[in-house]
Amino acid sequence: MTVLHLADETEAADLAAFLSRLLHYDRSAAVRLQAAGTALAVFGRPPSFEVLAVRAVRLAKPYEDGLDVTLDVTVSAGELLEAVDEAAATAGVPGAVTGPPWAGLLPPRSGWEPEGGLPGADVLRSLVSAAVAEFRSRTEELAAERRTRAELDSIGRDIWSR
Cβ pair 85, 65 in contact under 8 A: no
* Segment 100-124, tens digit of pLDDT: 888 887 777 778 787 788 788 899 8
pLDDT tens sequence for the chain (162 residues): 789 999 999 999 999 999 999 998 899 999 999 998 889 999 999 887 778 899 999 999 887 765 566 789 999 999 999 999 999 999 999 999 998 888 887 777 778 787 788 788 899 899 999 999 999 999 999 999 998 888 988 898 899 888
**Quick check: pTM over 0.85?**
no
Q: How far apart are CA 57 and CA 14, in angstroms?
A: 8
Q: How far apart are CA 127 and CA 27, in angstroms?
A: 30
- The CATH number that domain 2-104 falls under is 3.10.150
Instruction: Give 126's Cβ-side CA count (13 Å radius).
Output: 5
Nearest residue to 94 (alpha-carbon basis) of 77, 110, 106, 70: 77
Q: How far apart are CA 22 and CA 27, in angstroms?
A: 8
Angle in degrees, 0-180, between the axes of helices 149-161 and 121-141, rounded to the nearest 10: 150
